[in-house]
Amino acid sequence: MTTNRDTTHEGVQVRADVREAALRSLGRPGRGYWILIAALSAVVVLGLVAWIIQLRRGLGSAGYNDEAFWGIYIADVVTFVGVSYGGAVVSAILRLTGADWRAPLTRLAEGTAVVTVIVGGGFIIPHLGRPERIWELVTRPNLSSPIFWDFIAVCTYAVGSIVFFALPLVPDTAIALITDRMRVGRRARLYNALSRGWVGSPRQRRVLHGALRVVSIMIIPLAVSVHSVLAWAFALVSRPWWHESIWAPYFVVAALYSGVALVILVVAGFRRGYHLEAFIHERHFVRLGYILAVFSMTYLYLTFADILPGAYVGEPGTSAVFHELLVGHFALWFWLFVVCGGIVPLLLIALPWTRTVPGLVVAASFVAPSMWLKRMLMVVDPSTYDRVDGTFGTFHFSWIAISMTLAGVAAVPLLIMLLFRIFPLLSIDEMEEITGATQPAPRVELDVPATSHPRRPTVRVGAVILILLGGGVLGVASARPAQADTVTSPPALSVSAKLTGDTVELAATVVASDGSPGGNMSVSFYVVTTEFGPQGQDVPIGTVVTDASGAAHLSYRPTLSGADTFVASVNPAGSKVVTAKTTVHVTQAVSAYTPAPTKPFSTVGKNVVLALLLIVAAIWIALAAQVGRVRRACRRASPSAPSTPAA
């Protein structure tokens, strides 16, 4: 029989254990800590040196060129800002749903969110090329640009993440001051400022919990808006694959997927480094693994849902980009992502014998770099495509770009380690409120007869999924598009040009192989220009379907005087492309520039901008109000009450 005294003693001991574990990072670190800090700092310093060299030499030193205007830095922005969502959003959802098992993880997850959003936002600066002008985003904003709204969204989300991280520190810093003031040391002044007036009264707890609920509700749409605007920023550029309507939710799921993977890695590292096994159990990793599996399957689905419609329609630019992605120059990297970033983590989570802490850490270790690789493919593949001639350029990795990316990777654990040299590792107050959920407990096994095999259905289901997935991949790879009946020989094509004033009248005639007029055939007309290179390039100027006599006519107003060469081409089904050329001397050219017409929704757009600015202002005011609520609750505490949490 357990007496009240025994229960009280046990509760006191559990609280003491929680407080001691939470404050371990504030003590004197060992030699390994300083070695790791030195190594990470060296990588960050190398990245800063590389950036200084880039400032002197320009973005060309980072691999950017006329054929690849976007590259590694924009992929870094998307990746690092994205991983911050895993900590903040998952913590917010678990807090709102009342999941008690979240308590040992929230501080580490929310601290990771704060650090990664700062690192990710910082990568916007080297991407700009002219960082000294970044202040013009505020002083001379382009309110119609998603870049400006992305800046606003990232800043607002960063402030929300900081508030979300800071509010639970109010009771924890008060507890730390009375638990081990010697270990707190010089942090005491900061802790006093954060916890001033906190006594742990019921009213203060109600106010704090209410403020955290409000911030939790706000942080979720904030995170969604940031990555949605990032996706829409790609739509500014006329490149195939960057205008897909699915990209906003696609980016959000990618951010959550990679973010949960990073949380697993961070929690595993601090659990091992500070010996938190008594509080962060294997069940915490298994539940995070289940969340990771959900996002993995969702992201794989969205990946092929994004590609299949565009590949089926077969527009030239989109088809070329997807061809390079699936079976061309980028195919090896894309299928490496599918295997390492999707299938392997799912297997490690699905199989019972790998659903362990090491297995889940390995799964997360596959996901994090694979998601960066996928972002690189989404950026580089379309950005190197030339819409004029349908060819692909190249993006070259340089040591400068690689050094700066590695510096960002190193900055994340470095800043997290330094952050928790200042603040407690665990959320002490939350864990003490749900002490029963944080006590080390033996693993509960079901009493199953020896003849049964409860794990076999899981293995069978996993095997069926793999077989179906493998069959689908093989089917996509081996499928051939439907083709019309083949033509035994190509038709004959001729083209002529006649100058009439400032207009060139082009006429093409198609004759079938049997001598009959080639009616109902699409003839594409091009003008050869040297504007993009001395070798000359064919610029499409129109496509016309031949009439019953096999003739196609097109009027073109040249923009440059001199000798112009025109090309006509026809591509019958089942036959090779047939081309013909003609040259005409242009004496009168017309400028191609025409003023843009007034946008039909320009007035509505101004009102939308005003509404968005008011929404952003309301969010900032609401965040400040939650901080103010907690501070007022602390100030209203009885002056005679001790400035320490109630026992």
DSSP for 314-383, written as a single string: T-HHHHHHHHHHHTSTTHHHHHHHHIIIIIHHHHHHHSGGG-SHHHHHHHHHHHHHHHHHHHHHHHHHHH
For residue 284 the two structure tokens come to 């915490």
Distances (CA, A) of 293 to 264, 289, 486: 13, 6, 47
Query: How far is the C-alpha of 424 from the C-alpha of 110, rounded, in Å?
Result: 12
Query: How far is the C-alpha of 241 from the C-alpha of 247, rounded, in Å?
Result: 9
Query: How far is the C-alpha of 78 from the C-alpha of 493, rounded, in Å?
Result: 49
Neighbouring CB atoms inside 10 A of 351's CB total 14
Mean pLDDT value of segment 157-179: 91
**Lowest pLDDT segment from 152-156, 452-456, 613-617:** 452-456
**Lowest pLDDT segment from 268-282, 359-373, 438-452:** 438-452
- 642 or 363, which is more confident: 363
- Please write the tens of the pLDDT for every residue from 219-232: 888 888 888 888 88
- Please write the tens of the pLDDT for every residue from 385-435: 887 777 888 888 889 999 999 999 999 999 999 999 999 998 888 888 776
Residue 448 has pLDDT above 50, yes or no: no
Task: Specify the amino acid at residue 468.
Answer: L
- Please write the tens of the pLDDT for every residue from 598-608: 766 666 767 77
Question: What percentage of the chain has pLDDT greater than the value 90?
Answer: 29
Cβ atoms of 354 and 347 closer than 8 Å: yes
Distance linking the first and last C-alpha atoms of the chain: 26
SS3 at position 600: coil
**What pLDDT, on a 0 to 100 scale, did the predictor assign at position 445?**
36
Mean pLDDT value of segment 525-539: 79
**What pLDDT, on a 0 to 100 scale, did the predictor assign at position 608?**
78
**What pLDDT, on a 0 to 100 scale, did the predictor assign at position 289?**
93
- Please write the tens of the pLDDT for every residue from 336-347: 999 999 999 999
**Lowest pLDDT segment from 167-171, 252-256, 354-358, 556-560:** 556-560
Query: How far is the C-alpha of 519 from the C-alpha of 514, rounded, in Å?
Result: 13
Mean pLDDT value of segment 156-184: 89
Residue 480 has pLDDT above 60, yes or no: no
- 476 or 307, which is more confident: 307
- % helix / strand / coil in the chain, to the nearest 5? 60, 10, 30
- Residue 595's contacts (CB-CB under 8 Å, 6 or more residues apart) are none
**Lowest pLDDT segment from 110-114, 351-355, 468-472:** 468-472
Residue 447 has pLDDT above 70, yes or no: no
Residue 642 has pLDDT above 80, yes or no: no
DSSP for 224-277, written as a single string: HHHHHHHHHHHTTS--TTTT-TTHHHHHHHHHHHHHHHHHHHHHHHHHHHTT-T
Region class of 505: left (phi > 0), else alpha (psi between -120 and 50), else beta: beta
Distances (CA, A) of 113 to 109, 116, 341, 416, 567: 6, 5, 21, 10, 56
**What pLDDT, on a 0 to 100 scale, did the predictor assign at position 167?**
92
Mean pLDDT value of segment 516-545: 84
137 pLDDT tier (thresholds 50, 70, 90): confident
463 pLDDT tier (thresholds 50, 70, 90): low
Mean pLDDT value of segment 124-135: 80
Q: How far is CA 2 from the centre of its chain?
A: 52
pTM value is: 0.75
| C-alpha radius of gyration, the chain, whole number | 31
Query: How far is the C-alpha of 498 from the C-alpha of 502, rounded, in Å?
Result: 11
**What pLDDT, on a 0 to 100 scale, did the predictor assign at position 621?**
92
85 pLDDT tier (thresholds 50, 70, 90): confident
Residue 489 has pLDDT above 50, yes or no: yes
Mean pLDDT value of segment 39-54: 94
Residue 510 has pLDDT above 80, yes or no: yes
Mean pLDDT value of segment 302-306: 91
**What pLDDT, on a 0 to 100 scale, did the predictor assign at position 532?**
66
Average model confidence (pLDDT) for the chain?
82
Question: What percentage of the chain has pLDDT greater than the value 70?
Answer: 85
Residue 197 has pLDDT above 50, yes or no: yes
Residue 444 has pLDDT above 80, yes or no: no
Mean pLDDT value of segment 63-80: 84
Mean pLDDT value of segment 153-165: 90
Neighbouring CB atoms inside 10 A of 632's CB total 11
Residue 468 has pLDDT above 70, yes or no: no
Q: Which long-range contacts (CB under 8 A, 24 or more apart) does 130-136 make?
A: 131/55
303 pLDDT tier (thresholds 50, 70, 90): very high
Residue 382 has pLDDT above 90, yes or no: no
SS3 at position 189: helix
- Please write the tens of the pLDDT for every residue from 315-331: 888 888 898 899 888 99
Query: How far is the C-alpha of 107 from the C-alpha of 347, rounded, in Å?
Result: 29
What single-letter DSSP state applies at residue 641?
Answer: S
Query: How far is the C-alpha of 18 from the C-alpha of 348, rounded, in Å?
Result: 31
3 pLDDT tier (thresholds 50, 70, 90): very low
Mean pLDDT value of segment 509-535: 83
- Residue 579's contacts (CB-CB under 8 Å, 6 or more residues apart) are 493, 567, 568, 569
Q: Measure the CA angle with vertex 238, ends 237 and 243; round to 5°.
A: 85
Cβ atoms of 313 and 373 closer than 8 Å: no
For residue 115, give the nearest of 369, 410, 463 by alpha carbon: 410
272 pLDDT tier (thresholds 50, 70, 90): very high
- Residue 58's contacts (CB-CB under 8 Å, 6 or more residues apart) are 129
Cβ atoms of 376 and 73 closer than 8 Å: no
